[in-house]
Amino acid sequence: MAGNSQSEFKGVEEALKAIEGPEHEEVYRVLYGRKHPEIAISDDAKKLAESGNFELKGYSVSASPEQLRTPRIVRIAAIQNQIVQPTTAPVAEQRDALHKRYAICVLHPRKTPMDGIRRVCLQRTNDQISYSKKYGIVIISPILERDEEKDDVIWNTAVVIGTNGQVVGRSRKNHIPRVGDFNESTYYMESQLGHPVFETEFGRIAINICYGRHHPMNWQMYALNGAEIIFNPSATVGALSEPLWGIEARNAAIANHCFTVAVNRVGTEQFPHEFTSGNGKPAHKDFGHFYGSSYVAAPDGSRTPSLSRTQDGVLIAEVDLNLCRQTKDSWGFRMTNRLELYAKSFTAASDPEYRPDVRKAF
Amino acid sequence: MAGNSQSEFKGVEEALKAIEGPEHEEVYRVLYGRKHPEIAISDDAKKLAESGNFELKGYSVSASPEQLRTPRIVRIAAIQNQIVQPTTAPVAEQRDALHKRYAICVLHPRKTPMDGIRRVCLQRTNDQISYSKKYGIVIISPILERDEEKDDVIWNTAVVIGTNGQVVGRSRKNHIPRVGDFNESTYYMESQLGHPVFETEFGRIAINICYGRHHPMNWQMYALNGAEIIFNPSATVGALSEPLWGIEARNAAIANHCFTVAVNRVGTEQFPHEFTSGNGKPAHKDFGHFYGSSYVAAPDGSRTPSLSRTQDGVLIAEVDLNLCRQTKDSWGFRMTNRLELYAKSFTAASDPEYRPDVRKAF
């Protein structure tokens, strides 16, 4: 197995255990919001996770009972993993090894009280699986899409595979990083599909791919189109983004009254040739540590604990989608968002002739 | 002194001290970003703070040296306080008592290594002070503005008082809460001033008042107008917003490559008559605990520790504004924001005839 980084720090929640009693409760409340009860995991499932070398955690995110709607409970599974074969292995071998790895992560929990996973999100890798039909689940699988019908253009895409085993939707990456030498715009294009939301059997979902999480408007437009869960499959490393990771997807859940699912890769991957990062530092053979830490954020400002920073894992969140509208009604952000004002302001500001409203104050 | 809530939890950072050694460093890094060194506080200043019963903390937020620009270092002081007189005291007495309290908080640090405070933000209360000219500082003071020249309309306003001792700018609240029975729109109006940015001797500043922090577009429009520091004077209580507090202003600093200053009130305030919150719960005589926890967030994703949850305090942040452009250049969020796309999408979405882009995916 490539890229395990054994000496890395495992994660914040483990460390917080050093704080005891009521103080721990308070720290947890301020940092994570209300506490979500764990879902029971059977001994069988624990053994499977242990022999498969992946972490397995599950939390239940409840909503208040309503008089006119029944609860709308769905189970989300977020899978984070490291690469299985080294980066120098033939591409098909790398892909096939990942498929086998997902088979372990996705299918084993089916035998357990985790039964009934209804939606699965994979971190950003270039492959695709098709257990949807067999197991009655919706899968979101990030791929690198070669558009053979359209001039061989490449897109950074996530496909939605329905319970019928077919690709029932696709979302493409709206915002492409231009960070130092890491400029992905040299090999694929910005999406021209806008902000599609997919109505599945289990709720309305959208996919904000990777670097798009840095853009609050991107999350917001998916939410304005009705998304109840927005997935953010990512592949990002510590030095660049770790202090941002717990902030951005969670802020999006809060601001937009929806669930967000932030999924990241794990491990440190070695490449055969050195490359630079355009930051004035020496060339290197890895990107740094992909810190995992996948989590689910709820519209009420709470969030689940993270998966580990160092190990493969499956995070289950059993969520009641009624919480979206309940929070929307209670906090009123949607009602007070003054969308027309911003439509006008952003239109003005995107004009090359726009002069910022700066007033001399001295 | 009214409303001190002695049994309350003091704050997260105190509790984190239970975690030791390298693990503490890692937890701090993930939760707060890079560590900002403390500014030295003299024994005199410590004594003043102790006798004045306020906390005094200071941090330095550096940027990298540049070849063509000198550092642009300014000192920000964020003052959080509880009310001094009870809510039943005559309004003029309440105001005057607050003025005296600010005199202690603002002026005493002048005698110390904290000398040279260049900008001061007060949490949201209805008063105003005028030490600006005497001490060469810019003051941001939230007030309830009675527009006597315009039909006696009331605005929720923050004035900017320049070093000349004059009001050199004003910003009004763009988003008014509609939360249960707490509907401020029954006594003041939404701003019609847009998103003004004020160019002061010490940098370009803007003020996002209170509930406006829940709206990412609000922060963004101030930033698009060039704000380098956005102040968020707030008055907010635990049950409603505490798990959001560390997220929203910080996300705004990250997404918009600027500093944000989140300032909150402290204490629990008693009112003579019961009132309801429109949440189905019994009537009560207080809003809950205003949890303080004021902090400064930097564009690189880092933030200072908070002031206490329970005590008055002054938080000094000595920041190098060059960090804004440095982060903007390095992360590229501004360059990749696709503002035109969102100007069009939000214009479409704000049309009452707009149909959300929901695609059947089963």
What contacts B124, CB < 8 A, 6 or more positions away? B142, B209, B210, B233, B234, B235, B263, B265
Q: What is the pLDDT of residue A4?
A: 42
Which residue out of B36, B64, B217, B340 would a mutagenesis test of the A interface target, given it has the greatest number of A Cβ atoms within 10 Å?
Answer: B217
- Interface membership of B288 toward A (CB under 8 Å): no
Exposed, middle or buried by CB within 10 Å (0-12, 13-18, 19+), for B173?
A: buried
On whether the CB atoms of residues B331 and A199 are closer than 8 A, the answer is: no
Nearest to B206 by CA among B173, B251, B175: B173
pLDDT for A7 equals: 58
Residues B179, A244: C-beta atoms closer than 8 Å: no
- Cα distances (angstroms) measured from residue B189 to each of B177, B183, B225: 11, 11, 23
ipTM of the complex: 0.93
Interior angle at CA A216, CA A210 and CA A219, nearest 5: 65
Beta-carbon separation of A358 and B197 below 8 A: yes
Q: Which residues in chain B show pLDDT less than 70?
A: 1-7, 106-120, 122-128, 130
Q: Which residue ranges form the domains of chain A, and what is each CATH number?
A: 12-349 (3.60.110.10)
A213 at interface of B, judged by CB pairs closer than 8 A: no
Chain A CB contacts of B251 under 8 Å are 216, 247-248, 251
Contact between chains at A247 and B251 (C-beta distance less than 8 A): yes
CB contact A28 to B (< 8 Å): no
One digit per residue, the tens of pLDDT, for chain A of length 362 reads: 334 444 578 899 999 999 999 999 999 999 999 999 999 988 888 888 999 899 999 999 999 999 999 999 999 999 999 999 999 999 999 989 988 888 777 655 555 444 445 666 766 544 448 677 877 889 999 999 999 998 999 999 999 999 888 999 999 999 999 887 777 888 899 999 999 999 999 999 999 999 999 999 999 999 999 999 999 999 999 877 999 999 999 999 999 999 999 999 999 999 999 988 888 889 999 989 999 999 999 999 999 999 999 999 999 999 999 999 999 999 999 999 999 999 999 999 999 999 999 999 88
Mutate to test the interface with A, among B170, B210, B236, B251 (most CBs of A within 10 A): B251
Token couple for B34: 């890079």
Residue A326 sits at the vertex; the CA angle it makes with A324 and A328, to the nearest 5 degrees, is 70
Facing B196 at nearest CB: one of A168, A225, A357: A357
Q: A353 at the B interface (CB within 8 A)?
A: no
- Rounded distance between C-alpha atoms, residue A23 and residue B117, angstroms: 34
Quick check: A10 contacting B, CB < 8 Å? Answer: no
The predicted pLDDT at position A171 comes to: 97
Quote the tokens at residue B105.
């908080």
Q: How far apart are CA B170 and CA B173, in angstroms?
A: 10
The pLDDT of residue A258 is 98
Instruction: Classify A243 as helix, strand or coil.
Output: helix
Window 64-83 of B, Cβ < 8 Å to A: none
- Indicate the DSSP class of residue A275: B
CA–CA distances in Å: residue B343 to residues A73, A151, A216, A351: 35, 29, 13, 10
Tell me the CB-side half-sphere exposure of residue B262, using CA atoms within 13 A.
Answer: 31
> In the 8-state DSSP scheme, what is residue B353?
T
What's residue B239's pLDDT? 73
Mutate to test the interface with B, among A26, A183, A340, A357 (most CBs of B within 10 A): A357
pLDDT at res. B178: 86
A236 in Cβ contact with A272 (< 8 Å): no
DSSP string, B147-178: ETTTTTEEEEEEEEE-TTSSEEEEEE-S---E
Query: What residue has token string 């802020």?
Result: A251
Q: At B64, give phi and psi (nearest 5°).
A: -75, 150
Q: Looking at the complex, does the CB of residue B103 fall below 8 Å from at least one CB of chain A?
A: no
Does B174 lie at the interface with A, CB-CB under 8 angstroms?
Answer: yes
Could you tell me the two tokens for B137? 């500082």
Distance CA B267, CA B347 (A): 42
User: Nearest Cα to B271, choosing from B3, B91, B1?
Assistant: B3
The whole-angstrom distance between A50's CA and the closest CA on chain B is: 25
For residue A125, what pLDDT is reported? 43
Do A173 and A192 touch, CB atoms closer than 8 A? no
**Contact state of A339 with B332 under an 8 Å Cβ cutoff:** no
Interface contact B338-A195, CB threshold 8 A: no
pLDDT for A281: 87
**Nearest CA to A29 among A340, A333, A301, A341?**
A301
Q: How far apart are CA A174 and CA A184, in angstroms?
A: 12
| Spatial distance between the Cα atoms of B143 and B155, rounded to a whole number of angstroms | 9
Q: Is the CB of residue A357 less than 8 Å away from at least one CB of chain B?
A: yes
